[in-house]
Amino acid sequence: MSRLLENVCSELQRLPGIGRRTALRLAMHMLKMDGEHVDSLAQSISSFRHDVRYCRSCNNLSDNDICPICSDERRDRSTICVVEQVQDLMSIENTGQYHGIYHVLGGVISPMQGIGPSDLKIDLLADKLLTGEVKEVIIAISTSVEGETTLFYLTNRLKAFPDVKVTTIARGIGFGDELEYVDELTITHALMNRREVR
């Protein structure tokens, strides 16, 4: 086997979800692509890894010290939405319905994986609350055991700021979900948090 092909395949296999066969398929596809396109792919990978930064204010990925959301004058600085990771921030941004700012924790508390509160950007969040500008913190993290642990830790920590309202996003039946296939815990929560319609 060609050493160049062998190299590119074993490098691609370092990526999650890419096995031998997929690596080979990607490599063979690159041969059919324009040389320039392949170079710009390679270039964009290196630049992204080396040049991207974390926003000093919210820990979002950014090209500068402060991310576009934090530096946008039109965003409502009195509301902070706390998310686990950058992908979650993007999902919320995609709705176009949220106009506050964010705070990216960079993970959840997981004793099994050796991730404690000090590994997350919780102090940075507390610093922002010290300014007294924030009125509400919306905690939008997953309902896994680790997520619930993190939620518990955060709410405790936020007791130091009694004037700040702390909320979590609603749990319930998703749009398009069929009740028949929804798990019991979700249905239980959806029942408990029922809303009056008339």
Q: For residue 119, how many other CB atoms are within 10 A of its CB?
A: 15
Q: Is 35 in the site for its own copies (CB under 8 A)?
A: yes
Q: CA–CA separation, 126 vs 108, rounded Å?
A: 16
Q: For residue 79, how many other CB atoms are within 10 A of its CB?
A: 18
Q: Is 12 in the site for its own copies (CB under 8 A)?
A: yes
- In terms of CB distance, is 43 or 78 closer to its own copies? 43
To the nearest whole angstrom, how small is the minimum distance from the Cβ of residue 113 to its own copies? Answer: 13
- In terms of CB distance, is 21 or 159 closer to its own copies? 21
To the nearest whole angstrom, how small is the minimum distance from the Cβ of residue 133 to its own copies? Answer: 25
Q: CA–CA separation, 121 vs 107, rounded Å?
A: 9
Using CB under 8 A as the binding rule, the residues of this chain from 50 to 109 that contact its own copies are 50-52, 60-63, 67-68, 85-87, 90, 93
Rg (CA), the chain: 22
Q: CA–CA separation, 92 vs 81, rounded Å?
A: 9
Where on the chain is the footprint of its own copies (CB under 8 A)?
A: 1-5, 7-8, 11-12, 14-17, 22, 24-31, 33, 35, 37-52, 60-63, 67-68, 85-87, 90, 93
